[in-house]
Amino acid sequence: AQTVTQSQPEMSVQEAETVTLSCTYDTSESDYYLFWYKQPPSRQMILVIRQEAYKQQNATENRFSVNFQKAAKSFSLKISDSQLGDAAMYFCAYRSADGNEKLTFGTGTRLTIIP
Amino acid sequence: GAVVSQHPSWVICKSGTSVKIECRSLDFQATTMFWYRQFPKQSLMLMATSNEGSKATYEQGVEKDKFLINHASLTLSTLTVTSAHPEDSSFYICSARSQRLKEQYFGPGTRLTVT
């Protein structure tokens, strides 16, 4: 079974600065997908970024980028130019590429933005 | 974008009663819907996966006779918590996916309080 680990329960960053959230995972599969989801106080889950394991290039979405290290099974999220609206719980998630749609989530990191 | 709604957003019920939560895909046909449970300050745990017109597949440890899931149409899935107890109090989140969409889209969640 796959597991996803987020070792930072809480992080804080000064507004406009850069922060990196860590995520590691364990799998025996060679093809899979990795995600970062944001859950603001409204509790609505929002997809931030998606990475396909067979792609070596790190995914980027505006101020959000990932550092995907497949051999190390590491998938960190970098948020640049942090904004107050970035404050939320961030969950790392794993999904197999074998047709099983199940998402396995990490325990989450609460990000606080300091004005 | 793909929109998923849930109703109600918050429900309070008495112990021993049943409560039904609806999940609707508003602008796409959801061939697969997922039900998650989230306890305070914890991650999302998948309860079951339902495909339109067939029985739901429950995760290990989830009582299928207690959490009844129906996915009768391509836009609606329901979760019924039967004989609710205070320990069933939680945040229930659904997500939906179609064959066309790559990812799951999440509803805003339903907070259930059992008194």
The parent domain of residue A42 ranges over 3-114
Specify the CATH number for the domain of residue A84: 2.60.40.10
Nearest 5°: the CA angle A41, B42, A8 is 90
The partner residue sitting opposite A101, judged by closest CB among B32, B38, B43, is: B32
Q: Which residues of chain A have pLDDT under 70?
A: none
For the segment B34-45, what is each residue's pLDDT rounded down to a tens digit?
999 998 888 999
Number of domains in chain A: 1
A109 close to A10: Cβ distance less than 8 angstroms: yes
For the segment B56-82, what is each residue's pLDDT rounded down to a tens digit?
999 999 999 999 999 889 999 999 999
Contact B44 A45 (CB under 8 A): yes
Nearest 5°: the CA angle A79, B42, A76 is 25
**Is the pLDDT reported for residue B51 higher than 90?**
no
Cross-strand pairs, A96 = A32
B98 CB within 8 Å of a chain A CB: no
